[in-house]
Structure 1
Amino acid sequence: MQVTLLGTGDTTGTPTPGCDCDTCERARELGVERTRFSVHIHNEVTDESLLVDISPDFRHQMLDHEVSLPDAALVTHIHFDHLHGMGNAYRLLSSLPVHAADETDPETGKSVAETVAGDYDYLDAVTVTGHDAHESFEVCGFEVTFVPVVHPPLVCYGVRIDHGDASLAITGDTNFGIADASREALSGADLLLADGITPASRCQYHPLGGDHHDDDGVPRTFGTKHMTIEGARDLAAELDADRYRVLHVSHFTPADRAFEDPLAVDGEQYQL
């Protein structure tokens, strides 16, 4: 499978519009971007492509990185930066099967699958199939599993994707408090794409501080919703990933480390 990181940024992206912080200025100098989250996975055997989350930057991402239009998509949760590119199915795609978890969210009273089906019922191309968490299904020749993670207040899912001996794990938007069963499902992947919004040092500026501290008191969760970069690093070590990249990175990451490994930028490709 060929994995292309289409969108590696948080909800505002980097550079952020109207922002002249050092990190945004450095991104402009380097000519790199972190647009809103999306991952493209191509199956060379079947010549099909699967999209994990449908970014509001869909058109821009497809043109910039010259990947094929998706044959199917997964939706991990209903925040706009992961979902609101769905309207691009209009006229561009004759068919877009969308797969999402069907667990009822106590916050909304609907599952992710039901929300997508209801909000985008005007798009004839879109059909939605719900799936149980931890239950594998096949799409685009891949074996796919939705894995529950922790992104309050909404339900959210990571994804495990396997094809032959190759495996990709995506944490989805999450804090460090992922349950053991989900950690096991995401473990041992050839490539792990881990949520990490900013360094732990920035927790002092969050109204809720940080959480899930390590033995040295370093927070591995920023506020309640996302891992710190240190949290992503520690999770990758725990999950024994062969390689890992940190995504969903914000422009609050200081410029002197914002574009260093293992922090991903848009357009990176990996052959698994």
Structure 2
Amino acid sequence: MRVTLLGTGDTTGTPTVGCDCDTCREARARGVERSRFSVHVENERTGECLLVDFSPDFRQQFLTHDVPLPDAGIVSHVHFDHVDGLGNAYRVFDDLPVHAANETDPKTGESVAETIASKYDYLDRISVHAHAPFETFRTCGLDVTLVPVDHPPLVCYGLAIEDPETGAKLSLSGDTTYDVSDRSRGVLADPDLFLVDGIVPASLCEHHPAGGTHHDAEGVPRTFGTKHMTREGALSLADDLRARETRVVHTAHFYPVDEAFEEPLAVDGEAYDL
């Protein structure tokens, strides 16, 4: 299983359009990109590829990185930076299965699968496949399990992707606070690679109207506001799950410049063989 990080940034990416902060300037100087979130997973045994989330930067990501177009996709939730790139399927694919959860969101009255089907009903080249959380399904020769995480006000899912032949395992936290259920943690546990949401360092919680929550024993907040983990929360969850390797993704340009390019914060284009 070859995993390529196509997009490792948050909803505005780094550098952010129109921003001249120290971090965005340094990203430009380094030639570093953290575009909107997307992960490419290639099953080298079967020659098939799976795309996790459809970034609005889809076109540029596939022009920039040497990876094949996907044979199937998964959408974790319906925020625009994770789904709006699906419009790029127009004239690009002959047939693209898109997998998503079937659980009704109390906020929207639809499941993620239903929202995709209605929003992209003009794309006759895609087919939407709905799955119950915690029920494993197979696509591109890989076993995939969607698990609920905590990203109010919308439902959102992390996922585990496993190769049934080699046992290699990739886990993604999805957009979430530190408050991930024990059942979901059980599915995500023991990955060879863990891609985990860590939008900002805990030190920035003082600047959020909601502050920080889910403090550790030393009082460090593991959740930033109400929707995402801090870097410290991300690394704490990785420890909880016994991840062999961890990359912090969905990061914002608010990271101070002296921290923004340190390990284990990911950048676009990283690739891992599991």
In the other structure, the counterpart of 1:226 is 228
Let me know the Cα RMSD of the aligned residues.
0.5
String of CA shifts for 1:160-194, please: whole Å, max 9, x gaps. Answer: 00003100000000000000000111000000000
**Tell me, which stretches of 5 or more residues in structure 1 are unaligned?**
none
What's the CA shift for 1:216?
1.0
Q: 1:86-235 maps to which residues of 2 (within 5 A)? A: 86-163=86-163, 164-235=166-237
Counterpart-to-counterpart distance in 1, 2:212 and 2:138: 38
1:27 alignment counterpart: 27
Counterpart of 2:65, as a letter, is H
| Aligned counterparts, 1:49-64, within 5 A | 49-64=49-64
What amino acid sits opposite 1:96 in the alignment? Answer: L
Distance 2:225 2:207 in 1: 10
Determine the C-alpha separation between the residues in 2 that align with 1:85 and 1:97: 15
**TM-score normalized by the length of structure 1:** 0.99
| 3-state SS, counterpart of residue 210 of structure 2 | coil
User: Can you list the C-alpha shifts for 1:235-266, whole angstroms capped at 9, x where unaligned?
Assistant: 00000000000000000001101011100000
Structure 2 CA distance for aligned equivalents of residues 150 and 229 of structure 1: 16
Per-residue CA distance 1:189-247 (angstroms, 9 max, x = gap): 00000000000000000010011001111100000100000000000000000000000
Q: Which 4+ runs in 1 deviate beyond 3 A? A: none
Q: Distance in 1 between matches of 2:214 and 2:158?
A: 19
User: Is 1:76–2:101 an aligned residue pair?
Assistant: no
Q: Hey, what's the Cα distance between the residues in 1 that align with 2:56 and 2:43?
A: 24
Kindly state the Cα deviation for residue 119 of structure 1 after the two structures are TM-superposed. 0.4
Whole-Å Cα distance in 1 between the matches of residues 42 and 143 of structure 2?
13
**Could you tell me how far apart the structure 1 residues matched to 2:58 and 2:155 are?**
23
Matched letter for residue 208 of structure 2: H
| Alpha-carbon separation, structure 1, partners of 2:25 and 2:93 | 36
Q: Which SS does the other structure have where 1:154 is aligned?
A: coil
2:199 counterpart SS class: coil
In the alignment of these two chains, the number of paired residues is 272
SS in 2 for 1:192: strand
Counterpart-to-counterpart distance in 1, 2:49 and 2:213: 37
TM superposition shift of 1:141: 0.3
* CA-CA distance at 1:268 after TM superposition: 0.2
User: Which one-letter code corresponds to 2:83 in the other structure?
Assistant: L
- 1:247 lines up with 2:249 in the alignment: yes
Give the TM-score normalised by the residue count of structure 2: 0.99
* Distance (Å, rounded) in 1 between the aligned partners of 2:262 and 2:183: 31
Distance in 2 (alpha carbons) for counterparts of 1:166 and 1:215: 33
Counterpart CA distance in 2 for 1:11 and 1:241 is 26
In structure 1, give the amino acid aligned to 2:37: F
Q: Which residue of 2 aligns with 1:9?
A: 9
C-alpha displacement of 1:155: 0.3
